[in-house]
Structures are given as C-alpha cells and as structure tokens.
C-alpha cells in the first residue's frame, strides 16, 4: 500500500517558469511585441509553439536551449526532498503532471540525476524537428471548462489512478504538490484522506484560501509549504501514522 505523490513542475520542482525562462535565449533576451501579443487565454501551448519557432528561426540551437533550461534553480529543499523519496521509494509512487513540455522536464531530471525518483511524467509532448526547431503538442483533449484546452490535470490524475487500480495498485492516499491556477482543478477533487500541498504565496494557495472563505467544500486536508524540507516533514508524519 503506497502513497501517491503528484508534483507540478514549474514553480514547484524548479523555482521559475521554464517557458518564460527560455526567452533569455532570444536576441536581446526578449520576444518581439507582436509575438508577445499573439497569446490567447487558454492557448498557451500554441503560443509556445510560436516562441520555439521564433527561437529556431533566429538560430537558437538545442544545446543552447538545454544550457539555459538546466541552469534553472530547483525550488528550495526540492533536492533534499527527492533524495528522501529515493530512500523511501517502497512507500511512495511519484508522478509529474505539468503544462511545461517533455523535453524541458527530461533535461532537468537528467541533469540532476532524478529520473529514477519519478514513475511517470505527464506533460505536453515535445521534440526537435529536422530543422532543429523545438515543436510542442497539446497533451490531450478534454471537456473540463476550468482548465486550459491542452491539459486538465484532474483528468490525467483520475486516469492514472484508475489504470493503477486495474493493475492491482491501490493508493492509501494522494499528496498533491503544486503552485498554480491549473492545479486547482485536481486539488478540488481530492478525497478526505488526501493532502493538498500548495506553495505559500502562489496562485493555488491564494485560490484555496478564497474558496475556504466562500465556504466552498474541500474534502482533503491542506498543508502549505515554502521549502521541500517542510514537505519531507509532512511525508515522514504520513508514513509514521
């Protein structure tokens, strides 16, 4: 009987947003105004596709992007947290559900040697094409009206838990560690035994705060964190119970 740990990536595992971080590779470290203005709400992945095409057209190559992405700092305490999870892997399964992309997440996990900590990564698939341009696709299509059209993290989480159940893996509880607006949907579906762990001062925490003030029901318990070390303390408490 294991606990399932679900991680967001941007501003949770790493202490920044990989999609905005990559802009430093652009000429003058900024995007042209017309490209910036082309973003439409809910269509971030399409926007990033245009950003990657622009970078490719300007001669920014894979190794340069990789150097930039792998220089992103981890969020405080995350390295310690992953080392703790690695030592207690018999107690935890670990997945990432992220609106970043598969190339960026692979680079970061590989550079820090943390691939073995995670059992599965769910994110927008990306690859370099024959011109050396990074291309990115939507993770899936879904009908949830609360989430961006390329990714509903709750749909992903429910599907994963169901698949695991079919394989005979039943989780005693889910611990969801995130920060952003697109983490609200999966967190509101957590059950009584589960824990939502929003990062202090970020959108997810502020939204959950507002929801509790409006007396909107939330079944799971909420534990706020600023450092991965605080997450370790909570996990130690859970496996002692």
Q: Which residues are annotated as a binding site for Mg(2+)?
A: 8, 10, 179
Annotated active-site residue in 8, 93, 183, 194? 8
Q: Of 68, 20, 1, 16, whose CA–CA distance to 199 is shortest?
A: 16
Binding residues for substrate: 19, 99
Decide if 1 contacts 172 (C-beta within 8 A).
yes
Task: Collapse the DSSP code of 41 into the 3-class scheme (helix H, G, I; strand E, B; otherwise coil) and give the result.
Answer: coil
Decide if 115 contacts 154 (C-beta within 8 A).
no
- 8 assigned to active site: yes
Binding residues: 8, 10, 19, 99, 179
Long-range contacts, stretch 63-66, CB < 8 angstroms, 24+ apart: 64/25, 65/22, 65/25, 65/134, 66/107
Q: Which two tokens stand for residue 116?
A: 């073995």
Rg (CA), the chain: 18
Annotated active-site residue in 10, 93, 183, 194? 10
Q: Which residues are catalytic?
A: 8, 10
């Amino acid at each position: 009987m294991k606990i399932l740990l679900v991680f967001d990536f941007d501003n949770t595992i790493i202490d920044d947003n990989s999609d905005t971080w990559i802009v430093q590779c652009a000429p003058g470290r900024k995007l042209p105004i017309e490209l910036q203005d082309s973003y439409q709400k809910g269509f971030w992945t399409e926007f990033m596709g245009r950003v990657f095409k622009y970078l490719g057209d300007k001669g920014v190559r894979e190794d340069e992007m990789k150097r930039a992405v792998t220089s992103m700092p981890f969020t405080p305490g995350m390295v310690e947290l992953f080392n703790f999870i690695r030592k207690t892997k018999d107690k935890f399964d670990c997945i990432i559900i992220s609106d970043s992309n598969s190339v960026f997440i692979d680079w970061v996990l590989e550079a820090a040697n943390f691939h073995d900590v995670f059992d599965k990564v769910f994110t927008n698939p990306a690859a370099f094409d024959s011109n050396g341009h990074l291309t990115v696709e939507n993770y899936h299509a879904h009908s949830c009206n609360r989430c961006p059209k390329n990714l509903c993290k709750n749909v992903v989480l429910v599907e994963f838990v169901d698949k695991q159940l079919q394989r005979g893996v039943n989780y005693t509880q889910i611990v969801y560690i995130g920060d952003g607006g697109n983490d609200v949907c999966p967190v509101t579906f957590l059950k009584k035994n589960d824990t939502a762990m929003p990062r202090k001062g970020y959108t997810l925490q502020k939204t959950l705060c507002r929801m509790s003030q409006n007396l909107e029901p939330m079944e799971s318990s909420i534990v706020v964190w600023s450092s991965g070390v605080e997450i370790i303390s909570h996990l130690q408490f859970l496996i002692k119970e």
